[in-house]
Amino acid sequence: MRILRRYLLRQHALPFLFALAALTSFELLRQIARKLGDLIGKGIPSTVVLEFFLLTIPFLIAITLSMAVLVAVLYTMSRMTGDRELTAIRAGGVSLGQLMRPLLAAATVVAFVSFLFGDQVLPRTNHRLRTLMTSIYRTKPTFSLKEHVVNEVRKGQTLLRAAQIDQATYRMRDVTLYNLVDQTRTIYADSGYLAFAPNQEDLQLILYDGAIHEFDRQDPRMFQQTAFRRQTILIRGIGSEFVRREGDDYRGDREMGVCQLEEVTMRARRDAMTTERQAEAAAINGLRTLVGLPALEPDTTPPRLRHGLYCRALGLIRGWWGPAELEAQEAVQDTAGRQLSEQLDEPARRAFAARVVPQNRGRDVRLLRDRARAARIREAIYNVELHKKYSIPAACIIFVLIGVPLAVRFPRGGLGLVLGAGMSIFALYYVGLIAGESAANRLILPPFLAMWGTNILIASLGVVGLWLVRTEGCAPRRPGRPGWMSRLRGLLSP
């Protein structure tokens, strides 16, 4: 068995490495074809362009690693079955389960490496890539303006739409400017043009013959319209030359590790539970006030939540290597905070509860419930990304379960089996992930089921396939020999 295990692993190693390199290169070429024109047109240095595509590779590897496992299993096992190697091995008294043990062990190692890669390396490269993309996007935004399209002049702040844009002079017709920071103002103009300020760091938008529409959020009946003949709008932080911007501490859900996601998820869950208690107390106190009963204090004690086993173990390891003084200072600060909260007198706590929890108003109850729902959505978004950190590496093991019975059942599939079955399983898996993520973000499905549902489905199909292959054997089916579907129909027929 030792010789056989080494032989199986050697036969799978080369197809796995080839598939990983080929799939990653293919996806990288797609990214280059999509982004290279925009990057070169902005006049960015070649070193920055190279850095951009190098930072894209870790994200591609995280996707193609499990795909390479499936390709290697399909190709190697179908070739061994077609060459009668599995038949000879079975004749020597080795079962299919014994053959799969080294494959499952190797897939477990690959899954563990994929998990560590997605937890420690990928968030850092994603954060650096997003920071670099922000710096690139702020360089010559006029280069990528499209007609009849809402264009982002400054990401997350200013949107521009024009019916006609002259790419040579940047003169525009039928202009609409949306301000996302102050969403109560929209500017319409008959014409205008874009130009950089003399400092080459700010963008000037000069508009002609238009109007500014403003409304009051507090009072929707209030509306103000201001007409103008010429209006100059300055958009700061937009340069004509590339300037690398550092010091961006914000991190999105895909720029966090497992422990950071758990921390954000627990904070969102704590906010949701606390707000739900306040909403319930406000509704009950409103009813009690109607019948003349005194109001009750809401339970404002935050729920206790703990990190997972992996983060606790990682924190213990970091505690061994990290400075102990920092941990002691944090513990002293937490203790001082708890003592301070315990020293608050009873009237102060009641006044705080009365101020935090509005009572006797249905509008305030609805507001609290909306806040609780927003916290639940925020928790779901980060919880989905947290489960994704585990489910995608686990796909390496699941693809072995589904790949072996497919390869044994169709021994002479060759490249057609690898492409057909592989692409079908990839499509099913990633469509399930995307649909599950969308459903979980809308609170339709729990995050665990959304991210693990496709894994459970494919694993179930793989287990059923292994059982059918085990009953049918590993030898290629002869043309006149009935398959398992024919035998099943025979058993079910009267």
Query: Rounded to whole angstroms, how far apart are CA atoms 64 and 20?
Result: 6
What pLDDT, on the 0 to 100 scale, is given for residue 352? 43
Query: Rounded to whole angstroms, how far apart are CA atoms 344 and 216?
Result: 40
Asked if residue 455 lies in contact with residue 398, where contact means CB atoms within 8 angstroms, the answer is yes
- Tell me the longest C-alpha to C-alpha distance in the chain: 91
Tokens matching residue 316: 């213990």
- 17 pLDDT band, cuts 50/70/90, is very high
Sequence-separated contacts (24+) of 31-39 with Cβ below 8 Å: 31/56, 31/60, 38/143, 38/144, 39/136
Q: What is the mean pLDDT of residues 240-264?
A: 77
**Percent residues over pLDDT 90 in the chain:** 28
| Higher per-residue pLDDT: 323 or 223 | 223
Residue 186 reports pLDDT greater than 80: yes
- 448 pLDDT band, cuts 50/70/90, is very high
Full 3-state SS string of the chain? CHHHHHHHHHHHHHHHHHHHHHHHHHHHHHHHHHHHHHHHHCCCCHHHHHHHHHHHHHHHHHHHHHHHHHHHHHHHHHHHHHCCHHHHHHHCCCCHHHHHHHHHHHHHHHHHHHHHHHHHHHHHHHHHHHHHHHHHHCECHHHHCCCCCCEEEECCCEEEEEEEECCCCCEEEEEEEEECCCCCEEEEEEEEEEEECCCCCCEEEEEEEEEEEEECCCCCCCEEEEEEEEEEEEECCCECCCCCCCCCCCCCHHHCCHHHHHHHHHHHHHHHHHHHHHHHHHHHHHHHHHCCCCCCCCCCCCCCCCCCHHHHHHHHHHHHHCCHHHHHHHHHHHHHHHHHHHCCCHHHHHHHHHHHCCCCCHHHHHHHHHHHHHHHHHHHHHHHHHHHHHHHHHHHHHHHHHHHHHHHHCCCCHHHHHHHHHHHHHHHHHHHHHHHHHHHHCCCCCHHHHHHHHHHHHHHHHHHHHHHHHHHCCCCCCCCCCCHHHHHHHHHCC
- 343 pLDDT band, cuts 50/70/90, is very low
Query: Rounded to whole angstroms, how far apart are CA atoms 260 and 76?
Result: 39
Asked if residue 384 lies in contact with residue 440, where contact means CB atoms within 8 angstroms, the answer is yes
| Higher per-residue pLDDT: 38 or 9 | 9
Question: Lowest mean pLDDT: which of 108-117, 192-201, 464-473?
Answer: 192-201
Question: Lowest mean pLDDT: which of 84-88, 123-127, 172-176, 245-249?
Answer: 245-249
Query: Rounded to whole angstroms, how far apart are CA atoms 280 and 299?
Result: 10
| Higher per-residue pLDDT: 484 or 167 | 167
What pLDDT, on the 0 to 100 scale, is given for residue 25? 94
pLDDT tens-digit map of 171-181: 888 998 887 76
Residue 357 reports pLDDT greater than 90: no
Question: Lowest mean pLDDT: which of 9-23, 72-86, 331-345, 478-492?
Answer: 331-345
Question: Lowest mean pLDDT: which of 55-59, 136-140, 166-170, 264-268?
Answer: 136-140
> Which conformational region is residue 458 in: left (phi greater than 0), alpha (psi within -120 to 50 degrees), or beta?
alpha
Tokens matching residue 377: 């959505």
Residue 115 reports pLDDT greater than 50: yes
**Percent residues over pLDDT 70 in the chain:** 77
Tokens matching residue 285: 């106190």
Residue 88 reports pLDDT greater than 70: yes
Sheet holding 223-235, edge to edge: 151-154, 158-165, 171-179, 185-196, 203-215, 223-235
- Which residue is associated with the tokens 């990633």? 430
Residue 117's nearest CA partner among 393, 366, 379 is: 393
Tokens matching residue 147: 């007609």
Residue 300 reports pLDDT greater than 80: no
Query: Rounded to whole angstroms, how far apart are CA atoms 440 and 386?
Result: 12
Asked if residue 305 lies in contact with residue 344, where contact means CB atoms within 8 angstroms, the answer is no
Residue 58 reports pLDDT greater than 80: yes
pTM of the model: 0.72
Query: Rounded to whole angstroms, how far apart are CA atoms 395 and 455?
Result: 7
What pLDDT, on the 0 to 100 scale, is given for residue 233? 83
Q: What is the mean pLDDT of residues 259-275?
A: 89
Instruction: Give residues with Cβ within 8 angstroms of 55, minimum separation 6.
Output: 125, 128, 129, 132
- Which residue is associated with the tokens 């702040």? 157
What pLDDT, on the 0 to 100 scale, is given for residue 288? 76
Instruction: Give residues with Cβ within 8 angstroms of 399, minimum separation 6.
Output: 66, 69, 70, 73, 107, 425, 458
Mean pLDDT of the chain: 79
Query: Rounded to whole angstroms, how far apart are CA atoms 452 and 436?
Result: 9
Q: How far is CA 432 from CA 272, 413, 440, in A?
A: 28, 26, 12
Burial 208-236 (b: 16+ CB within 10 A, else e): eebebeebeeeeeeeeeeeeeeebebebe
Q: What is the mean pLDDT of residues 184-203?
A: 79
What pLDDT, on the 0 to 100 scale, is given for residue 103? 92
Residue 209 reports pLDDT greater than 70: yes
| Higher per-residue pLDDT: 494 or 43 | 43
